[in-house]
A and B are shown apart, each in its own frame.
Chain A
Amino acid sequence: MKRIRPSRWSGQLLQARCGAGIAAARQPFLLAARCQSTSSAAAHDSTPIDSPPPLPAPSFARAAQSAKLAALHARLSLSKKIPLQTLARALVTPSADANPNFNNTNLAYLGSTIVNYHVLEYLVCKWPRLPMAILYEALRAYSGDASLQQIARRWGVESAAAPGEEVDPGLLQWKAGEEQVVNTRWGYIRSDKAPAWRRGLSSRVVLDNDFGDQVSSAAPEKPEFDSLQSEAFGSVVQAVIGAIYTHCGREEVKAFVKSHILSRELDPSTLFEFKLPTRELAMLCAREGFEAPVARLESETGRLSRTPVYVVGIYSGKEKLGEGAGPSLDVARRKASMASLKAWYLYSPGNKVRVPSDMMEEGAKPWTAPYIDIGEII
């Protein structure tokens, strides 16, 4: 079998500057001059005709001179195969330079698919019984824009006050404000014919984007400053990961994702929100063929006082499922049911789970199928 060598494709990342003339979104100089207008004529007269307009972002030719870029390259312990020019391109967001030949859109999309794949396969193997809604939120907690922004800031990425040619290429070229010229949102768009259809969770597996959020084909409403900022910073992390994949390959990018994204701690038990925990637990026991859950009062103190504490355990037959403490019998029982449900959902085969991409390594041990749950409690 022939191996794919993505490192051979990386030449185009560096050659983009040669074809600057074909830039679609960058307006050619002659078209930009307003010949019919009288108001702008004075401004044009003062500048010499053959000087090109300033670039929207710093030229990659200056990347080698930037101390910030070299520092970032060294701080991330990136391989020598990744040139500083690629790192400089990862810092140019489409809000600064709309031309896809010069901004980080493509690298960021490549990186986001890699990050989401590695996080999702880890989550599914680590907590096989997580409900779909919790799985989406856990994925967002690892690789959503807000988390990636934190990572970028910890890497020491700083944004320039305003993007421009004269700015240090080691700064993030980003600006908020005008409408987004380039669409950077990816996902399956739902048809507009049936807007009244319920947007259920299982349809989000196929439709919508990676986090189960709806993507609309219409122009999005004006986003908040914070979300634009986290998107810009997040795209840096994704673009760096895309660059590592392009220049160094699969193993390196997996190690990088593991050490920078999967190493972050997430407690999935805080993501749950129940509606009717006692009924959900009864349905679970009925589905799995366990005896019906029974709440038993294990201990109590201060029943006649202002602050009583009851400890209630939920039992199925003689087996204890969970326990909870609360200031009233009802609260304690509901807390105990929630604890038992969390114990069911947060089953984990172990801390060192093997994921499918482990099999890509050379000399990997034979694959044993991971635990696959039959599904959520309905």
Chain B
Amino acid sequence: MDLRSLLRPASQLLNPLRCLSTPRAAATAAVSLPLTSSRGHKTTARTKRALKMAPHDSFLPSRTAAFPADDSIIYNPPASEASPEHTPFIFLPRNDPRRLAIMRLRSSSNDPTAYSQANGELPPEMRYKRREAKYNLTKEHIEEMRRLRNEDPLTWSVQKLARKFECSTVFVQMAAPAPPEHLQWLKGKMERKMERWGPKRTQAREDRKRRAEMLYRGEL
């Protein structure tokens, strides 16, 4: 039996006592001494003894039955990514036997397949930009948008129009595209800017693009 593992909880029990007894320093000198030694493991034997840990209960066979216990399967997979071969419940077709089995399980009281936690609460929603269809624009709005964009594409940029008409930038680009000479000018401006980039920034941009491609191929 490892003495150290027994002593550690015992010393933690004594900790509050130690705190209470600090005013009487002289009297409690013996108690405030740590019971577990804090010196390093300077020999192989001590290191080995310190690192010897009992396996977690989930790795041990069930001890509910007396010895010799029945054969039991130890299933303790390491934490890992879920495989795409596990089809979620709603992706299963109507006549798939797995769907019927899960529905039978769910109709009973305890449902092991439900992904939600025990108290029925889902994890917090993330905040990110997502599409919310508003359908707030009429034909007149779009004509007005086109007129503004054609008159002065510099002032009425995509961002500004989107903010004015409360729609997405993609919609502005589709409904009121800029005149071709303005697009040409923008392209030239971007090219002039890119020429000024040094090797580091160019490399960083390329790397970012390559990382995105790798992510979409599932290599990252």
On A, residues with C-beta under 8 Å from B are 269-270, 272-275, 277, 282, 290, 294-298, 312-313, 315-316, 318-325, 329-331, 333-335, 338-340, 342-344, 346-349, 371
Contact = CB atoms under 8 A, between A and B. Distances in A.
B83 to A, nearest CB: 8
B86 interface: yes
B90 A290 contact: yes
Contacts of B84: 269, 322, 339, 342-343, 346
A333 B93 CA distance: 26
Given A297-B125, A318-B122, A343-B85, 7 more contacts: A295-B126, A295-B128, A296-B123, A316-B90, A335-B215, A344-B91, A371-B96
Contacts, number: 91
A319 B128 contact: no
B116 interface: yes
A356 to B, nearest CB: 19
A277 to B, nearest CB: 7
The 7 lowest CB-CB distance pairs between A and B, nearest first, are A342-B84, A320-B115, A296-B123, A295-B126, A274-B216, A273-B217, A298-B123
Interface residues of B, number: 28
A331 B92 CA distance: 27
Contact of B216 (A290, A296, A321, A338): A338
Nearest to A284: B91
Given A297-B126, A322-B82, A324-B81, A347 B116 contact: no
A313 B116 CA distance: 11
Interface in B64-86: 81-82, 84-86
Contacts of A316: 90
10 contacts: A290-B90, A318-B115, A319-B115, A325-B81, A329-B126, A333-B128, A334-B216, A338-B216, A339-B81, A349-B96
B88 interface: yes
B55 interface: no
B40 interface: no
B171 interface: no
A334 B90 contact: no
Contacts of A331: 215, 220
Contacts of A334: 215-216
Contacts of A297: 123-126
A328 B220 CA distance: 12
Contacts of B216: 273-275, 277, 334, 338
B131 A282 contact: yes
Contacts of B93: 347, 371
Contacts of B124: 296-297
Interface in B84-123: 84-93, 96, 114-116, 122-123
B85 A348 contact: yes
B180 interface: no
Contacts of A318: 114-116, 122
B134 to A, nearest CB: 15
A343 B88 contact: yes
Contacts of B92: 347
Contacts of A347: 87, 91-93
